[in-house]
Homo-oligomer: A and B are copies of this chain.
């Protein structure tokens, strides 16, 4: 179950012709009655901000944090498209608003795909009417919406978190250009809990920090990243702490699904840095390790070569004392006091060959800690990113 699991929401996905393949490429999440509800969003920090990001931010500001729908497309990012791109993003929202019977400012928009190309608006114009007309509140409708935002994803990503009296559902896409703040990723979450827009924004920011912003595939931050949550309120007031944890759990689940479907990966790797001077320093260290081409190649080769991990930590711009460093893969301590530790080679080799790795670097100089989810760097990643076709 997905964005349609919380009561009050409908969804759909259609193929309007943006993707030459004929796959689903236009997606909708809308309130059942077409009336606006509380909404919040978090956006990319890339200064090359895509047109739909600008449009969504301005609509939310003008509507006072309320939205009736989110329209999304895959196959074209509508980024680096200038004035025409802005007009196209605005037109997408106006088309949906006309079909839904709400104001254009009450429609949000997201795009994902290639940068630097104009949207084929004829295809979008043809697609909106059937997109809105065919929306449903069942599981299949939610699945169509999740499939219509896929790019190099190999599977749709959906989540449902159920709590006493309310639900949080969601869908997401993202497979490369994944980095903290944020990934090339779109996510739409829905809940039937009643919550004011300001509070919803706070909750979303906290949930994103510990989920989408704690994953990195290649250190590249996209132009279009957007996470949106809509709250229909049909379930009435709920426990605030319960809503906070449910939203965080849903975001984390979707973030894990992204890393688990990252382009060409063979392993999901948790990089944890502890014993740093501060949490921020731990985070900087973990990121340097997680984004290192050399370390990622080692993982791909099942190689526990900790020297590269240590070397990255030494250049992370954080406090570091070589002789205090210890590193372990799973339960296997590979370095202690800054030098190699004796290991059970066979057991370590078996661990490294597995699909999930957990590397923990203890800097031994403080209490700061952080953890990131990432992947290995593989031939298949290069294959996927050698060309735009």
What is A's interface to B at a CB cutoff of 8 Å? 45-49, 77, 79-82, 84-85, 114-117, 176-177, 218-223, 292-294, 297-298, 300-301, 303, 305-308, 310-315, 320-323, 325, 335, 337-340, 377-379, 381-382, 385-388
Contact = CB atoms under 8 A, between A and B. Distances in A.
A300 B383 CA distance: 10
* Identical copies in the complex: 2
A301 B47 CA distance: 26
A82 B338 contact: yes
Nearest to A184: B311
Contacts of A117: 340
Nearest to A218: B293
Contacts of A293: 218-220, 293, 377, 381, 385
A385 B298 contact: yes
Nearest to A294: B220
A77 B322 CA distance: 15
Nearest to A84: B339
Contacts of A322: 47-49, 80
B382 A377 contact: yes
B80 A335 contact: yes
A323 B218 CA distance: 26
Contacts of A298: 385-388
Contact of A340 (B116, B306, B313, B386): B116
A272 to B, nearest CB: 19
Contacts of A385: 293-294, 297-298, 301
Given A221-B315, A297-B386, A379-B382, A116 B307 contact: yes
Given A47-B313, A48-B325, 6 more contacts: A116-B306, A221-B311, A221-B315, A223-B310, A298-B386, A298-B387
A212 to B, nearest CB: 15
Which 3 A-B residue pairs are closest in the complex by CB-CB distance? A115-B307, A301-B386, A48-B314
A48 B80 contact: no
Contact of A301 (B82, B325, B387): B387
5 contacts: A48-B325, A80-B338, A176-B294, A294-B385, A298-B386
A110 to B, nearest CB: 16
A338 to B, nearest CB: 6
Nearest to A308: B115
A58 to B, nearest CB: 16
Contacts of A381: 293, 297
Of listed A219, A292, A320, A378, residue having the most chain B CB within 10 A: A219
B310 A116 contact: yes
A313 B48 contact: yes
Contacts of A379: 379, 382
With a 10 A CB-CB cut-off, give which of A85, A176, A292, A311 has the most chain B CB atoms.
A311
Contacts of A305: 114-116, 388
A335 B306 CA distance: 42
A223 to B, nearest CB: 5
A305 B346 CA distance: 45
A214 to B, nearest CB: 17
> Which of A45, A46, A48 is most buried by chain B, counting CB atoms within 10 A of its CB?
A48
A313 B47 CA distance: 8
Nearest to A340: B116
A307 B47 contact: no
A340 B307 contact: no
A357 to B, nearest CB: 14
